[in-house]
């Protein structure tokens, strides 16, 4: 586990250096998506668990052994799929994913961008994830998407980063 954390930390550091972790949601962000700016009281994991709509995500993070990493110093930007997003995956496929630690880790780290990127810092383009692949961020007058997932809430601040809520689980290539 310690070696895994070291590998993830190295990947995060490399990705921050390689990408600068800068993209912007500012273009075309509808007023209904205005950031909720409040002082953070908990880390990303505890903030997500406390929200009550990320039960499956918490289960997946536990199964992948990523809880300690996302409780670490970060900072991280997490595009967090809700329970409803996970429910879009057929039950047998989701069960198989939860049972395959390597595949699950790949999917979950694809939802994480190194650095703390709040909505006002996000712009249309590609952004490198901790997993190593790229997310395609699109900001239009219709809203913001990350690959095929719609960002439904931005800027849930945590002590070690920020969460943006998405309505679909995104999958790496």
The domains located in the chain, with CATH, are 2-166 (2.30.180.10)
Per DSSP, the residues of 139-150 read: EETTEEEETTEE
pLDDT in tens, 80-99: 999 999 999 999 999 999 99
The pLDDT mean for the chain works out to: 80
Q: Any idea what DSSP says for residue 120?
A: G
Paired strand residues for 51: none
pLDDT in tens, 128-167: 999 999 999 998 878 889 998 999 999 999 999 999 999 9
Structural Rg of the chain based on CA atoms: 15
């Amino acid at each position: 586990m310690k070696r895994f954390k070291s590998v993830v930390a190295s990947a995060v550091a490399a990705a921050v250096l390689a990408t600068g972790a800068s993209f912007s949601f500012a273009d075309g962000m509808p007023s209904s998506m205005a950031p909720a700016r409040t002082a953070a009281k908990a880390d990303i994991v505890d903030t997500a668990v406390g929200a009550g709509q990320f039960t499956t995500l918490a289960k997946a993070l536990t199964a992948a052994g990523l809880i300690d990493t996302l409780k670490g110093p970060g900072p991280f930007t997490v595009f967090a799929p809700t329970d409803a997003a996970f429910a879009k995956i057929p039950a047998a496929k989701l069960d198989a994913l939860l049972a395959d630690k390597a595949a699950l880790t790949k999917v979950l780290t694809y939802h994480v961008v190194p650095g703390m990127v709040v909505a006002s810092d996000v712009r249309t383009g590609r952004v490198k994830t901790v997993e190593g692949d790229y997310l395609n961020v699109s900001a239009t007058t219709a809203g913001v998407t990350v690959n095929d997932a719609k960002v439904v809430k931005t800027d849930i601040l945590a002590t070690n980063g920020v969460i943006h809520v998405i309505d679909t689980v995104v999958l790496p290539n």
